[in-house]
Structure 1
Amino acid sequence: MLITDDLLLYYKRCRRRAFLDVYGDRIQQDPEQDFLLKLRQDSLAYRQAILDVAPHQSPNYPRRDWAAGAKATLELMQQGVDQISQGILLMQTAPGVTLLSRPDLLVKQPGLSNFGDWIYVPTLIKLGKRSKPEYQIVAAFAAHLLAAVQGVLPSSAQLILRRQDAYSVSLARWEPLMQEVLSECIDTLLQRQEPDIFISRQKCSLCHWYSTCHAIAKAKQHISLLPGVTPSRYRDLQALGLTTVESLAQSPINLLEPAVGSEVAVDLVQQAQSIVQNRAILRQRSGAETQTLELFTHPDVLTTASVELYFDIEAEPELKLDYLLGVLVIDHRTHTETFHPLIAEHPKDEALIWQQFLDLVLFYPEAPIFHFSEYEVETVKRLAKLYQTPQPLVKHILSRLVDIHWEVMNTATLPVESYSLKHLARWIGFEWRDSGVTGSQCVCLYNHWLETGDRTPLDAIVRYNEDDCRATYYLKNWLKNFMQESVQNSTKSYAKISE
């Protein structure tokens, strides 16, 4: 069995992914997503850009002949080459287990080793911005294998991260942790112990086993599908014997409170009840037997203005560019709905579309501007600062922004797996015209437009953005009706109690 640095990294992120990569049926893997392919290409390009300015030599060996690669790497180290790129470090451990690391660079430094008065230090080049634990584990793994070759463990390893100087990994801290993870990984794979499922939305969304794991989780009604169930809370719930959605829905709040706190306990139980009953429930807070909607909602949601604006943004993070400011104008006076796709066909046009956005929203100075999530607020602040928009104007626009995501989260519990716009809007009956397009895929589509000039992907982005705006409109109307019905029901219940 071959344990590579990539396999160890994935094991640290998700044990089940590593297990399936070794034993799973590859026919069941999801097709590779365009966005994941872009990330891989960007990662390779970033690594190559670093290597281009670092004089280095690479071992020469037949493709995937790891033994030959390790021998060629050893010869370069014995020669004292200053920097070795894509070297092969190989080690036999338990019978039938081989460890393989391919650090991006092995950098020569002063010290005493099997080679003479120099040692090598492993350097990994990662596209990420943070020194994630899995990066440091893999760096320690490379150093561990390197120590077996040169006879000494360096005191540190290096990470070269995006937009940062080199980060030093303390091997005194991370080598023991790596040993624990490596031992667990080897035991899991040798004993063929298939790890339990846990659906983590952000981590799982790009995995090629997502559909397989999600289908199993759905069939089991796995509790990790509930919003709010983090890995640590999952362990707490397991310790309480709460392993199904039904058991959690029937659980008394005071059973959960010592483990997760009163507010989280209320949210988790109510979320489970919403799933079991398949209905929206007025969100409650611990310690409040009764509540009125004005305590936790924005009053603009309850009213219908003569003109309403719905705002959504598409961005390219690598370029630090917000290239599409979409605004849907709902004019109840004229019974018209007009979508304005303010799009920067080239990155230099961002200033132009920002001014167009200002002109449009100022044309309707009293209209509330509905959006979904904090991103739109932060973008307005960023663009205003970047293009020196007068502060009184910025404050005026910010005062009109209404976050529908915040309104939903503080008002209703819905039977959904996620409180993303797509999950919420689809539950209440809205559908996107291009079902396969996602926000992350739009990044790829915009880059394709920049590279080729083909307007087809640009048109798909505009449709997607318009549908996001319309989904927000649809959700706002649903929330307004839900809140009004809740007020009426609360009033009726209060009247009965008063009698």
Structure 2
Amino acid sequence: MQTTELQPDAEPCWITDSCLFQYHRCSRRAFLDRHGETSLRAPANDYLLKLRQDSAEHRQSVLHSYQPLSEPPSGDRLEQAAATYRLMEQGVDYISRGVLIFEIAPNLSLLSSPDLLIRQPGNAYFGEWHYLPADIKFGKKPKLEYQLIAAFHAYVLAEVQGRWPETSLLILRSSKVCEIDLPKQLPRMEELLQACIATLSQPQIPEVFISHSRCDLCHWFSYCHQEAKQQNHLSLIPGITPARYTHLQAANLTTLRDLSQAQPAQLASLPGFGEQVAEKLVHQAQAALMNKAIARLSPHSPYGFPLAPEDLPTTEIELYFDIEAAPDKNLVYLHGVLVVDRRRQSETFYALLAEDPDQEQAAWEQFKNLVQQYPEAPIYHFCPYEAQTVKRLAEEFGTPLAEIQPLLNRFVDVHKCFSEAVTLPIESYALKHIARWIGFDWRDAGANGAQSICWYDDWLTTGDRTYLEAILRYNEDDCRATYHIKEWLVNFAQTFWP
């Protein structure tokens, strides 16, 4: 397997909290951020820019409650570190954007910049006071990477002020404050730090590994994905996690051909595999090599195929349902329903839209009224989210269970049916990957769920209806993609049904 070699900088090495955070998520990203060719980085998309803006606004709203607030003047790293130290010597109550530097070896320094330094009683270098660090995060939970960086802040601060803080804080969304268990997290952080230093000091770029849940928003994604495609890297196989990849490497199964020729029983005993996962991974490798769909046969089915005709009913009228929501606002702003009427040979799309967040309940009522006009029609959707959201909205808006349960009984999850029955040569069983493989595409190339959220924010901000029109096109295409996938799956299954 070929790898790209990039020469490390000859300049002094800085390990910052941001660098360590990215290293915990992906060692390759940390290396590329330090040594990679900047022209290969993709610009931030609208959704990432929105996340950054939301995070910045949350940070400012939290800092507003910590007054009087001192901030070191702008300058280079050393100047800001000196200014931060002077503020600590003065004993100010709160310091924002402080810079803490600890040189751990010649030409190797740690740089910590916690969102807040909060004065506490207790002796340190400055006198009868010291500081504890706090980071402000837009997340709802104290994720492990947040805790490790909070421990890093405490580690560097202890050297700067000559005393360990009692804790390190995380201030989360809704101003929830979490104290970090430093005795537990410091050893983990130090292990992470040593690994980060070793990786950034070597000349060779870490091996590529594509994980869509973590990679899709990364500015190196296109660069890494292209390399993975050239290598036919196993991380492009759905279901191969970093942990499973490590076990496959230990078993000398490092190529698509190796994996395609393996016996599922050979893999089932590996940690984190089991019979079902092993069989799926071997099938995925075979489908990728042959570039064709493979049926997942079942000895327990009378058809030898996991799906029966009643699992995918073809009726005179069928509904295809897709929701658009803004999780940060806890808001469902669009219920899209495609009504396929085989008697009239018509396809009609209904957009039940909350043009304003206050109209969410009205859109919900419109959705209920529409689907109740077709009481026998199956309601096809993709993944469990639609069913889960309907349950939540029913509770939120007081819809009786006796009314909502018959509705939910009509729901059919196309994703579940598809993933149980067919293996495709694709990287993910997300809607777009499946639909594009079978020949369906979206009218707006850059449209996706995250972009829809940005468009809705833009509509609320500007009142420009072109943003609403883009949302409706995208949602209708999602409904139609679900329809095309269901039709394709029925045609595929019919070769097994009598």
Q: What interval of TM-score do these two structures reach, taking the shorter chain for normalisation? A: over 0.9
Correspondence list, 1:131-280, <5 A: 131-163=142-174, 165-259=176-270, 260-280=273-293
Structure 2: distance between partners of 1:9 and 1:298:
48
Match of 1:115 in 2: 126
Q: Given residue 41 of structure 2, which amino acid in structure 1 is its aligned partner?
A: Q
Write the distance in 1 (CA, Å) between the matches of 2:182 and 2:53. Answer: 30
Deviation at 1:89, TM superposition (A): 0.3
- Helix, strand or coil: the match of 2:176? coil
* Secondary structure of residue in 2 paired with 1:19: helix
CA contact (8 A) 2:158 2:165 kept: yes
| Matched position secondary structure for 2:494 | helix
CA positional deviation for 1:7: 0.7
Distance 2:155 2:203 in 1: 25
Q: Which moved more, 1:140-149 or 1:157-166?
A: 157-166
CA distance in 1, matches of 2:105, 2:370: 68
User: Quick one: which of 25, 28, 31 aligns to 2:40?
Assistant: 28
Partner amino acid, structure 1, of 2:226: A
For 1:182-231, what per-residue CA distance to the aligned partner results, in whole angstroms no more than 9, with x for missing partners?
Answer: 11111211223311111011000000000000000000000010000011
Shift of 1:296: 4.2
Cα distance in 2 for residues equivalent to 1:53 and 1:294: 65
Aligned to 1:482: 492
**What is the CA–CA distance in structure 2 between the aligned matches of 1:192 and 1:113, rounded to whole Å?**
41
1:464 equivalent among 455, 460, 474 = 474
CA distance in 2, matches of 1:5, 1:483: 52
1:411 alignment counterpart: 421
- 2:296–2:306: 8 Å Cα contact kept in structure 1? no
Q: In 1, Cα distance between the equivalents of 2:58 and 2:175?
A: 13
Query: Of the candidates 400, 415, 435, which is equivalent to residue 390 of structure 1?
Result: 400
Using structure 1 for the length normalisation, give the TM-score: 0.94
User: Which residue in 1 is equivalent to 2:296?
Assistant: 283
Superposition deviation, residue 131 in structure 1: 1.3
| CA distance, structure 1, for counterparts of residue 361 and residue 350 of structure 2 | 16
Residue 339 in structure 1 maps to residue 349 in structure 2:
yes
Amino acid of the structure 2 residue aligned with 1:486 = F
Query: Would you say 1:362 and 2:372 are equivalent positions?
Result: yes
The residue that corresponds to 1:494 in the other structure is none
- Unpaired segments ≥5 residues, structure 2: 1-12
- Asked whether the 8 Å contact 1:298–1:407 carries over to 2, the reply is no
Taking the TM superposition and a 5 Å limit, the aligned residue runs for 1:415-434 are 415-434=425-444
Q: CA deviation at 1:85?
A: 1.1
Secondary structure of 2:441's counterpart equals coil
Using the TM superposition, name which of 264-273 and 200-209 deviates more.
264-273
CA shift in 2, pair 1:300/1:348, >3 Å: farther
CA contact (8 A) 1:316 1:443 kept: yes
Give the unaligned 5+ runs of structure 1. 489-499
1:411-445 residue CA offsets vs partner (Å, 9 max, x unmatched): 11111100000000000000111111111011000
Once residues 321 and 231 of structure 1 are traced to their aligned partners in structure 2, the CA distance between those partners, rounded to angstroms, is 34
Cα distance, 1:164 vs. partner?
A: 5.8
Return the alpha-carbon distance in structure 2 between the equivalents of residues 18 and 281 of structure 1: 38
1:4 matches 2:35: no
The amino acid of 1:388's aligned partner reads G
SS at match of 1:156: coil
Q: Answer with 357-366 or 301-310: which moved more.
A: 301-310
CA deviation map 1:124-171 (0-9, x unaligned): 001111211211111111111111111111231000111362111111
Q: Secondary structure at the match of 1:93?
A: strand
CA distance in structure 2 between the partners assigned to 1:252 and 1:195 by the alignment = 30
CA contact (8 A) 2:313 2:378 kept: no
- Structure 2 SS opposite 1:406: helix
Instruction: Measure, in 1, the Cα distance between the counterparts of 2:193 and 2:379.
Output: 51
Determine which of 48, 56, 66 is the counterpart of 1:54. 66
- Alignment partners' CA distance in 1, 2:325 and 2:71: 41
- Give, in whole Å, the separation in 2 of the partners of 1:334 and 1:51: 61
**Alpha carbons 1:139, 1:169 under 8 Å: kept:** yes
Deviation, 1:304, is 1.4
Contact 1:344 1:353 in 2 (8 A): yes
**Distance in structure 2 (CA, Å) of the matches to 1:94 and 1:194:** 23
Q: Work out which of the residue numbers 390, 404, 417 in structure 2 matches 1:380.
A: 390
CA distance in 1, matches of 2:175, 2:285: 43
| Aligned equivalent of 1:326 | 336
Note if contact 2:234-2:240 (Cα within 8 Å) is conserved in structure 1: yes
What is the distance in 1 between the residues matched to 2:289 and 2:375?
A: 44
For residues 156 and 444 of structure 1, what CA distance do their matches in structure 2 show?
Answer: 37
Q: Residues 136 and 174 of structure 1 are in contact (CA less than 8 Å); yes or no, is this contact kept in structure 2? A: yes
Secondary structure at the aligned position of 1:326 is classed as strand
Q: Using a 3 Å threshold, how does the CA distance of structure 1 residues 387 and 320 change in structure 2: closer, same or farther?
A: same
Q: TM-score, normalised by structure 2?
A: 0.95
Displacement after TM superposition at 1:458 (Å): 0.8
Q: What CA deviation, in whole Å up to 9, does each residue of 1:84-138 have, x standing for no partner?
A: 1111101222222222111011111222211222221100001111211211111
Alignment partner of 1:315 is 2:328:
no
Structure 2 contact 443–473 (Cα < 8 Å) conserved: yes
Matches of 2:343 and 2:71, distance apart in 1: 72
* Aligned 8 A contact 1:301 1:476 in 2: no
Q: Structure 1, residues 3-61: CA drift from partner, whole Å, max 9, x if none?
A: 21111100010000000001111111112110000000000000000001111433333
CA shift, 1:78, in A, is 1.4
Q: How far did 1:295 drift?
A: 7.9
Equivalence for 1:45: 57
Alpha-carbon separation, structure 1, partners of 2:30 and 2:228? 18
User: Structure 1 residues 242, 56: closer, same or farther in 2, change over 3 A?
Assistant: farther
The residue aligned with 2:6 is: none
Counterpart amino acid of residue 133 in structure 2: P
Post-superposition CA distance 1:265-322 (Å, at most 9, x none): 111111111111111111246xx4x643598436444431010000001011111111
- 2:305–2:496: 8 Å Cα contact kept in structure 1? no
